[in-house]
Structure 1
Amino acid sequence: MSPTFRSVVAPSDDTLYTSALIGVRHEPAILEIPDTAATYGVLITDVYGNIINTDISTTSGGTYAFTGPGWSGSLPPEVAQIALPVTNPLLIIRTNRFSSEGENQSALAEEFRRSLRMGPLLAYERGVLAETLILPVTFWARSFKRDAGRLIRNNPIRFLRELQRGVRDIRTPPLTGDNRELADEFDKLLATGRFDEEFARATQDAQSAIIANYLDNTDQNNWINFRNIGFWGREYLDRSSIAEFCQYCNGIDSSAYYNVFQGEDDRPLNGASGGYVLTFERDQIPQSRDFWSVTSYISETINLHRNPEDKYVVASYTPGLETNEDGSISIYATPTPPPGVSTANWLPVPDGPFSMLLRVYSPEGSVADGTYVPPAVREINQPERNEGAPRGGG
């Protein structure tokens, strides 16, 4: 992973990605997963980001057939059927680069993703499933978040027409009920051109509401945590808000996400202030079966910050991560390495606005039950406040 990757917001440097756009309109798609000692997770969503639950094992290999709605046919006996509610979902397999004990397994993860095979049923029967195609990171260089934001500001009507194209695309599940009626009425009104001013203003207002819904969803330490990721139901505002800041995130059973844009003093995080420290007290360290990590992002695009060390994350697996004498762990988010601090505990941040994202993989304890609150982010030059400051941990 690198700052060149901008197509999806909040990319993770904890895992190697493998993804596929699955098409099962005409025949099943086959996925072969080899036996491996690597730890990986499987995420399947529709184009709206709804998570599709499956019975794909992540502890042993297997051969799976994805079938579309209404499909009827026969499969080879060694192939397990995964019935999908849509014809064009997105598959993402994330393979951990480190074990829960901190062992570097990047080579194993790379070997695993290169050994994945996929293709239509006919290709499987002929023994010619496609190998994994490893693309250069430059393939993902375009920031769609930035482009969409600029279009909404400068040409909102064009943005709406692009949105129409997406809704009408054959890969998009058709809208139903009230949503279909609303979309049809919208299409008619937009086509007249008589309401462009109203639609433009409404689009910009909606974008502001989407962003505010995310940024205002804070706990007492200014961390943002949504626990309904991928299972929104009719919470359309939550769905849109999370897509702005954490695309293709896992459900809470797989990963917990805590995002912060403000420090303890309620001011936006900004590396120009000198930097910040995030200290997990011994009883505040996130509980997980795998590991936890903290990543910093540029605020505007929610992408990685380019730095001379090519370092984007501090995690429980970070080699040499130091623990304080009292058992706590301090992470220093600064533009340059702070004096007297281990490089392992240093998280490079831009000399300007930034945010941080705490990921907890395979959460346990208070993280799993929803009572965990990460500690406040404190400016390094500010004295620590102990007068009844809230602590997380449930």
Structure 2
Amino acid sequence: MLFALALAAALPDADACYAATEEPEAALALAQGLQGFIYGYPVVDLLKQRHNETSRVAPDQPVAAPVNRIAIYPHLLTPETQGQLRAANADTLYLNAWLDLSQGPVMLDVPALGARYYTLAFMDLYGRPVHLGTRTNGGVARRYALVGPGATPPPGGEAVMLATDTVWMLGRVLATDAADVAAARALAQRIRIGAPPGAPVKEAEPLRPFESIAFFAMLNTALKELPMRAGEDALMAQFDAAGFGPSVSFDADALPPARALGLGCALRIGPQVLARRGFKPTNVRNGWMWSGEMADPGYDYLLRAEVARGGYVNDPRESIYPAAITDERGELLTGERSYRIRFAPGELPPVDAFWSLSAYDRASSQLVANAIARYSIGDRTVGLVRDADGGLTLRLSATPPPGGTANWLPVPPGPFHLVLRLYLPQAAALAGDYAPPPVERVGE
């Protein structure tokens, strides 16, 4: 009776999973499946995203394009247009593309963008980014060759080596405000991928692999194609023993009931494990947390999975995102209270490009609609009022503050977190010597 629950479409409930820990075979499968869930989280998440962005899975889908073609978001992101992106910024126009390098290197031509900041982040299936853009080329025109594992760089382009044949390109082009979006979009349209497009976009059901044991079927298919990473032979052997490793073929219908239950329970408790143990900040100051290891977690699979769950990251040299979930008293941020952040003179974020602050719903990491449609505030915000001493005080609340909205960042009405973005951070920020000021509670 206990094991029969694992074969149902829905994941086992908490009671079944607790009971499974007392059954040796189910407990072993749970342990192996949990390791597989943590290891495979970015792989499956990205493959899910590829399907959902190269197919038409919703009538209000913000972007969809065949593999090897770029889709450009129509405008700066809002709660209505953010789609599947988590913790999306509202500072730049996004470009989205899925690349297939399995048939050989793919050429990429970028125009001269001059002083306008942009970056193209190429994410392999392990969630590691490689950037091209203002920081790497100074804004001049370039031709690149995107080269997958085992391939030989071709002549005629600057080689960019990538670890997997499936690559997600997420580009960002600065748009100073809504009126500047057309100019940013015109430049983005000149970025070209020199490879045949994949299958045309068609209507399809969205993939939801985290909701069923289909997760392990997707992971199994991917592991057969991904290059073996050094030092992971024993781990892959464990995955083989569990039925989803690279040397076996996963068949959910043929799984022994105990193993099916254990794998289902791994998917049930996996998200809780990530939420509680995955993120390990290397810096915590004034309530702000960030980690210099997030762009390349190495063999820290928990951190790698939690980074993916939170929306992926950039190379720190490109941008760093200190986050805050508590105020100066150590209590969780909530829209039921009002806050301020005061940057004293000379203490604004040290950047070579720009900085901004955004607020997100804590549970979903998504933007939430507000009365003035402001989803970031920073050094490019028009009309900011400086303090008498030249400092800058930002007001954070769910309703307009008494002093006016010039320095107001609206926050969600319930639990939320903050992300402070530093684009092209200077040495003090990269070294951890700069700490943003605390989030102070006001009005009590």
TM-score, normalisation: structure 1 = 0.79
Flag structure 1 segments of 5+ consecutive residues without an equivalent. 124-128, 152-157, 383-394
Report whether the alignment pairs 1:24 with 2:101.
yes
Q: How far apart are residue 208 of structure 1 and its match? A: 2.2
Q: Who is 1:86 aligned against?
A: 164
Distance 2:179 2:239 in 1: 49
The one-letter code sitting in structure 2 at the alignment partner of 1:282 is P
Choose the corresponding residue for 1:223, options 271, 288, 308.
Answer: 288
5 Å-filtered alignment, 1:27-106, equals 27-37=104-114, 38-52=116-130, 57-72=137-152, 74-75=154-155, 77=156, 79-98=157-176, 105-106=180-181
Give 1:391's aligned residue: none
For residues 202-247 of structure 1, what are the alpha-carbon distances to aligned partners after superposition, in whole Å with 9 as ceiling and x for unaligned?
44444223112356747243222111122111111111122222x2
Number of the residue aligned with 2:187: 112
Query: Counterpart amino acid of 1:69?
Result: P
C-alpha displacement of 1:58:
4.6
SS at match of 2:258: coil
Q: Is the 8 A contact 2:280 2:303 kept in 1?
A: no
SS at structure 2 position matched to 1:89: strand
Q: Which residue of 2 aligns with 1:388?
A: none
Establish whether residue 372 from structure 1 lines up as the match of residue 443 from structure 2: no
2:409 to 335, 347, 367: 347
What is the deviation of 1:362? 0.5
- 2 CA distance for matches of 1:63 and 1:215? 37
Contact 1:14 1:97 in 2 (8 A): yes
Q: Please state if 1:308 is matched with 2:379.
A: no
Deviations 1:159-211 (A, max 9, x none): x4324314413896244512321221222698222144544444444422311
Q: Which amino acid aligns with 1:232?
A: P
Deviation at 1:295, TM superposition (A): 0.3
Residue among 156, 178, 192 paired with 2:234: 178
Query: 2:280 and 2:267 mapped to 1: Cα distance?
Result: 20
Q: Distance in 1 between matches of 2:239 and 2:86?
A: 27
Extract unaligned runs of 5+ from structure 2. Answer: 1-76, 245-249
Q: 1:80 to 1:216 in 2, by over 3 A?
A: closer
Amino acid of the residue matched to residue 433 of structure 2?
Answer: T
**1:357 matched residue in structure 2:** 419
Instruction: Select the residue among 236, 240, 245 that pairs with 2:305.
Output: 240
- Provide the secondary structure at the position in 2 that maps to 1:219: strand
Quick one: percent identity of the two aligned structures? 24
CA pair 182-367 structure 1, distance change in 2 beyond 3 A: same
- Distance in 2 (alpha carbons) for counterparts of 1:225 and 1:148: 29
- AA aligned to 1:208 is Q
Give the structure 2 partner of residue 386 of structure 1. Answer: none
Equivalenced residues, count: 348
Question: Tell me, what secondary structure is at the counterpart of 2:284?
Answer: coil
Report the 3-state secondary structure (helix = DSSP H, G, I; strand = E; otherwise coil) of the residue aligned with 1:272: coil
Aligned to 1:209: 273
**Following TM superposition, by how much is the alpha carbon of 1:105 offset from its aligned partner in structure 2, in angstroms?**
4.7
Q: What does 1:146-161 correspond to in 2, within 5 Å?
A: 151=211, 158=212, 160-161=213-214
Give 1:73 deviation, angstroms.
Answer: 7.6
